[in-house]
Structure formats: C-alpha cells, structure tokens
C-alpha cells in the first residue's frame, strides 16, 4: 500500500513544525497547517516573517540575559536601579512578572532555563557561570534566588548557591508565599510581592 493518505512533503513538514510548539497536539498541528495552506499568501508569509524577525532582531542582554535588541537591556541601563541587588529567575517571562509588581528596584539575572535532567538540561546549559563572573566582578551585595518553588526550581537554586558560595555574597531565597508547584509567571501580584518581600537569607551551613 502506498502512502497516499500522507500529506505531500511541504505540508507534512509544516505539520511537524507546528507539533513542536508547546501545547500543540497532532490534531491542532494539522488544523493550523491546513489553515496556512488556505490563507492568502501575504497573510501566511506575514507569520513567517514575524518568526524570522523575532529570531533576528531580539537577542539577549549581555549582562543579565533578559530579552533585548541585542545590546544592554533597558533594566540594566536604567540609572535608578539598585545595582547591588540581583534577582535570579529562570526565564524572561519571570522578569516581566516581577516588573509588573513595580516595587522591585534591583537588577535581574535570567538563567535561560532550569536544571532538568529529564529534558537534558544541566547547570552548564544555564547562565550560572556568567552570574558567578558578574558577582565576582564586585558591586553585588545580595543575590535573590527567584527560581520557581518546585522540585526543579529548588534544584536550580541549589546549583546557583553552590556556584556563588565561595564569593561570600549574601544569598536569599524568595519566600514560600507562592503555592508549591505553581509558577512565578502566573502568580498574582500580591503573592509574588509577598514572596519577594519575605525572602530569607540562607544560612552559611546551607551555602556550601
Ligand atoms: Zn540586562
């Protein structure tokens, strides 16, 4: 039997690409691909161009790894931010969540992920070494560990703590105000604000 039922190659490839997107299953991928196929050419190509532009024009801040146009980001550049405090988060979405509070005046460090052995993500895949160098360069008095309050977030925080331990900088962890297992990006401002406000210094014994 021939594979007559299989869509021709470019369509099959588009379905495969859509399937890679988070939360998109086989059926949705197929529906999206056929939608693109039926769309006017200009509309379909606008999607392709938007995807290309986001990859070409948006880069990472070389200091904190938050999204930027490739240069130093607006937060790192702002003259009124407290440069002695660095809040370490997993992803740019978490920076946006903390910024929504409007109360945090320090800087950030985006790890660009979390330690997740099951997904093949180790500590060396994150920006931990860049953070260590940033703190070692001086001027930072407190590093707040703002990774998610779940198993992988806690594990990631531990790796960061270990990397910073020899530097003698104060390391704090956001409070457990956020229900365990829920994500920073979805936490309400009140809960997130309380978690940041109630951060606790980690005992020396825990830091080595
Ligand atoms: Zn930055």
Query: Residue 203 half-sphere exposure, CB side, CA atoms within 13 Å?
Result: 2
- Residue 65 is predicted with a pLDDT of 96
Q: Which of 1-5, 6-10, 116-120, 164-168 has the lowest mean pLDDT?
A: 1-5
Which residue ranges does the chain devote to CATH 3.40.1360.10?
Answer: 75-207
| Whether the Cβ atoms of residue 88 and residue 150 lie closer than 8 Å to each other | no
| Cβ within 8 Å of residue 169, ≥6 positions away | 135, 140, 141, 142, 143
Q: What is the mean pLDDT of residues 49-64?
A: 87
pLDDT level of residue 207 (50, 70, 90 thresholds)? very low
- Residue 104 is predicted with a pLDDT of 95
Cα of 35 from ligand 1 centre, angstroms? 38
- Which protein residues have their CB within 5 A of the ion that is ligand 1? 61, 63-64, 66, 73, 76
Cα of 109 from ligand 1 centre, angstroms? 8
Cα of 137 from ligand 1 centre, angstroms? 16
Name residue, tokens 């007559």: 4
Cα of 185 from ligand 1 centre, angstroms? 19
Which residue ranges does the chain devote to CATH 1.10.8.420?
Answer: 9-57
Q: Which CATH number fits domain 9-57: 1.10.8.420, 3.90.1570.10, 2.60.40.420, 1.10.150.450?
A: 1.10.8.420
- Residue 208 is predicted with a pLDDT of 42
Cα of 181 from ligand 1 centre, angstroms? 28
Cα of 28 from ligand 1 centre, angstroms? 36
Cα of 200 from ligand 1 centre, angstroms? 25
**Residue 14 or residue 177, greater confidence:** 14
Supply the pTM of this predicted model: 0.73
Quote the CA–CA distance of 165 and 175 in Å, as a whole number: 20
Cα of 160 from ligand 1 centre, angstroms? 18
Neighbouring C-beta atoms of residue 202, cutoff 10 Å: 17
CATH topology for the 75-207 domain: Dna Topoisomerase Vi A Subunit; Chain: A, domain 2 (3.40.1360)
pLDDT level of residue 22 (50, 70, 90 thresholds)? confident
3-class secondary-structure state, position 84: strand
Cα of 122 from ligand 1 centre, angstroms? 23
- Residue 120 is predicted with a pLDDT of 85
Quote the CA–CA distance of 164 and 170 in Å, as a whole number: 9
Alpha helices, DSSP H only, in the chain? 9-19, 26-38, 41-57, 74-77, 92-101, 128-136, 151-164, 189-197, 204-207
């Amino acid at each position: 039997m021939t594979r007559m039922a299989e869509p021709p190659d470019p369509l099959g490839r588009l379905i495969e690409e859509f399937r890679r997107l988070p939360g998109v299953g086989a059926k949705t991928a197929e529906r999206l691909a056929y939608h693109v196929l039926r769309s006017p050419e200009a509309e379909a190509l606008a999607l392709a161009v938007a995807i290309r532009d986001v990859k070409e024009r948006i880069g990472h801040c070389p200091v904190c790894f938050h999204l930027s146009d490739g240069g130093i980001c607006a937060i790192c550049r702002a003259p009124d931010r407290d440069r002695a405090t660095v809040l370490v988060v997993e992803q740019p979405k978490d920076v946006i969540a903390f910024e929504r509070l409007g109360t945090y005046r320090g800087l950030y460090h985006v790890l660009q992920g979390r330690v997740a052995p099951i997904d093949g993500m180790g500590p060396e895949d994150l920006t931990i070494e860049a953070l260590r160098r940033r703190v070692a360069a001086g001027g930072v008095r407190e590093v707040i560990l703002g990774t998610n309050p779940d198993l992988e977030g806690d594990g990631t925080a531990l790796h960061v703590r270990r990397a910073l331990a020899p530097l003698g900088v104060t390391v704090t962890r956001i409070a457990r105000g956020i229900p365990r297992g829920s994500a920073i990006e979805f936490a309400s401002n009140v809960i997130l604000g309380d978690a940041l406000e109630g951060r606790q210094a980690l005992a020396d014994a825990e830091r080595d």
